[in-house]
Structure 1
Amino acid sequence: MTQAPTPTADTVRRLVRSLLGESAEPDVRPVTEGTEPATWWVGARCVLRLAPDREAAVRQRRELRLRELVRPYVSVAVPTSVAHGEWAPGLTYTLDAKVPGESGEDHDVSALGEADLAALLTGVREVPVGQAETLGVPRAAPRSLETLREAAERAARRLAEADEFDAARPERLTRAATVQLAAQPGAAVLVHHGLAGEHLVVGADGRVRGVLGWTDAVLGDPAEDIAGLALSVGSPAAVRAATLAGYGARPCLRGLWLARCDTLVQLVAALSGRSAASASGPLPVPLPVSLLRTRLRRAWEPILLERVTELREDGMDDSAAGGRDGGTGGGAPA
């Protein structure tokens, strides 16, 4: 197999000059420092993303088509490609216009921002599954919450020994609850599958201005996107947004517990120097322990009725409580 070339600042400058003209002197710098950065700032208005291997190139080509499909259904900005092609044989690039705003990891989302997230969830759900499948968007089976619960219990015990977490907190997620919160048949929709803070573009006013990172989108369990939001904006805000989007208690609570279990497993893995999976699949790069601790805190923020009651199975799908101080009720039902 031919070794893929390593992208460098000179590689990026040559590529940008070929797109913008030989007289261009672009200021290029990696978005994230690393040995082989694949995403670069180009001046103040563009972002260049280089596929590092052929599998990533396939996903990037699919993403370009998917963004055009999604755009009419969502009210927030989806990146627009200024130019795209190959930067090396078989390896693609896209030069995207920068979406104005800052990373969701750095700004809190306001009440209006929660409404933006609700509109996003609604719009993504309305994208025709058949059209997305025609573009090559893969289907992903719902994850087993019981398997994740068992891993999270082990992780919670290890974190408790390290004084990082209260091991008793996951006790509300019982084996019976995982059955009750199983994904419902026929519920597959388009799922962004990466609604982490770095993919949310938030304005200084707390409004959500755009959503990046559509490469890993799948047709699958909508609770995964609710889980991603719990890691990004906290469980109460995520559940409120999902409720505004029309999701009932079952997918809201399933997303909540996917996120909570994920944060435990991920933090233990990071503290022990191993890789782990996220609410939306394997983590592409190791995340700082400090960020994983922040995500754990966000995911484990209590939601209003969780403190005082438990939801029962009867009517669970129709239960949709709101409120700025807590969102849909309950932890997992016993």
Structure 2
Amino acid sequence: MTQAPTPTEDTVRRLVRSLLKEGAGGPDVRPVAGSGGHATWWVGTRHVLRLAPDREAALRQRRELRLRDLVRPHLPVAVPVSVAHGEWAPGLTYTLDAKVPGGSAPEHDVSALGEADLAGLLRGLREVPVRQAEALGVPRAAPRSLEELRAAAQDAAERLGAADEFDAARLHPFTPPATVQLAAQSGGVVLVHHGLTGAHLVVSTDGRVRGVLGWADVVLGDPAEDIAALALAVGAPAAVRAATLAGYGARPCLRGLWLARCDSLVHLADRLAGRGEGSLPDLRNGLRHAWEAILLERVTELRGDDADGGDAADDADDADDADDAL
């Protein structure tokens, strides 16, 4: 198999010069920190160049360009626009996108109006026709098992407790019956961004969410995954309020909350053990965000204390009661 070329500054500069026609020198180019493998570059102050490093990434990028056009009319926030796209090497694509003005979620706190922007994002994703997304090749993703994730999180919580990073007792309310209560519901498949990290949320200085980046990993699946990602990025209260404004009831909100909490434990424990990815400050920040208390927990009873595992019908009624309380 032929090894894919590694993009260099000279490669990027020649490509950009041919696209922007800004004279012999052209704009400054520099790799985006943390993009990995020099796959993403700043081009001057107005553009971002993304280079697919392999053929699989090229397929995702081609689909992403079409997908962004599909979702744009449904969303109240900006989606990047490609001003040029093609191949930077045989079979490997690029897209030169106009930069969406603003900072990132770690740089600016999301305001109440920003939460409304996030609600519009979640609502818009739900409104994208599933068949049209499938026609573009967007894959389906099965809902994750909360019971499997809870077991992994329990082990991670104990390891973090031994390292004085987390009080493992905080996970105790999330019992096996609670995972059954919060199982994904059939027929709930929507377009899921699957990458709503703080770096992909463009936030202005006034706390408004102005745009969303990173559309290469979109799937059709469980909307609680995006709620979970927002909990890690902007905090559990803001994420749940946004999901509630978007029309989601208690069950998907709480499912997203516990997905985020379990993920935060597993990812931090793995990173401390020398596995996994991400910086420790970012992972600790995600853990703090995900474990912020929310009002919904106080009005929703997870029926996990019964010796016989609880009654599924009663559990469903609890979730419905919480929907009414909202």
Instruction: Report the TM range for the smaller structure's normalisation.
Output: over 0.9
1:302 aligns with 2:293: yes
Q: Does the 8 Å contact 1:243/1:321 carry over to 2?
A: no
Aligned to 1:154: 155
Question: CA offsets per residue over residues 203-240 of structure 1, 9 Å max, x none?
Answer: 00000000000100000000000000000110011000
Letter in 2 for 1:304: L
Q: After superposition, where does 1:1-334 map in structure 2 within 5 Å?
A: 1-21=1-21, 23-32=24-33, 36-275=37-276, 286-307=277-298, 310=301, 312-314=315-317, 316-317=319-320, 319-320=322-323
SS of aligned partner of 1:136: coil
SS of aligned partner of 1:117: helix
SS of aligned partner of 2:210: strand
Q: Does the 8 Å contact 1:260/1:296 carry over to 2?
A: yes
- Name the CA distance, whole Å, in 2 between partners of 1:35 and 1:189: 29
- Name the CA distance, whole Å, in 2 between partners of 1:175 and 1:260: 15
Q: Does the 8 Å contact 1:63/1:215 carry over to 2?
A: yes
Question: CA offsets per residue over residues 264-300 of structure 1, 9 Å max, x none?
Answer: 000011111112xxxxxxxxxx210010000000000
Question: CA offsets per residue over residues 16-36 of structure 1, 9 Å max, x none?
Answer: 011112535220001115772
Letter in 2 for 1:41: W
Q: Cα offset for 1:193?
A: 0.4
| Greater displacement, 98-107 / 300-309 | 300-309
Question: CA offsets per residue over residues 178-200 of structure 1, 9 Å max, x none?
Answer: 01100001110000001110000
Aligned to 2:307: none
Q: Does the 8 Å contact 1:148/1:261 carry over to 2?
A: yes
- Name the CA distance, whole Å, in 2 between partners of 1:148 and 1:76: 32
Structure 1 length normalisation: TM-score?
A: 0.91
Q: Does the 8 Å contact 1:8/1:36 carry over to 2?
A: no
Alignment root-mean-square deviation, CA:
1.5
Letter in 2 for 1:61: R
- Name the CA distance, whole Å, in 2 between partners of 1:116 and 1:34: 26
SS of aligned partner of 1:313: helix
Cα–Cα, structure 1 residues 33 and 160, in superposed 2: closer, same or farther, change >3 Å?
A: closer
Q: Cα offset for 1:105?
A: 1.7
Question: CA offsets per residue over residues 37-57 of structure 1, 9 Å max, x none?
Answer: 100000000000000000000
Query: Percent identity over the alignment?
Result: 74
- Name the CA distance, whole Å, in 2 between partners of 1:153 and 1:193: 24
Gaps of 5+ in 1: 276-285, 323-327, 329-334
Cα–Cα, structure 1 residues 33 and 136, in superposed 2: closer, same or farther, change >3 Å?
A: closer
| Greater displacement, 309-318 / 65-74 | 309-318
Cα–Cα, structure 1 residues 6 and 317, in superposed 2: closer, same or farther, change >3 Å?
A: farther
Letter in 1 for 2:13: R
- Name the CA distance, whole Å, in 1 between partners of 2:190 and 2:128: 8
Q: Does the 8 Å contact 1:243/1:320 carry over to 2?
A: no
SS of aligned partner of 2:316: coil
Letter in 2 for 1:29: R
- Name the CA distance, whole Å, in 2 between partners of 1:265 and 1:107: 26
- Name the CA distance, whole Å, in 1 between partners of 2:92 and 2:324: 48
Q: Cα offset for 1:255?
A: 0.2
- Name the CA distance, whole Å, in 2 between partners of 1:124 and 1:309: 26
Letter in 1 for 2:253: C
Q: Does the 8 Å contact 1:248/1:318 carry over to 2?
A: no
Comparing both structures, which one devotes a greater share of its residues to helix? 2
Q: Cα offset for 1:313?
A: 2.7
Question: CA offsets per residue over residues 94-129 of structure 1, 9 Å max, x none?
Answer: 000000000112111000000000000000100000
Letter in 1 for 2:288: R
Aligned to 1:332: none
Q: Does the 8 Å contact 2:300/2:321 carry over to 1?
A: no
- Name the CA distance, whole Å, in 2 between partners of 1:202 and 1:254: 26
- Name the CA distance, whole Å, in 2 between partners of 1:33 and 1:186: 37
Q: Does the 8 Å contact 2:300/2:319 carry over to 1?
A: no
Gaps of 5+ in 2: 303-314
- Name the CA distance, whole Å, in 1 between partners of 2:136 and 2:298: 44
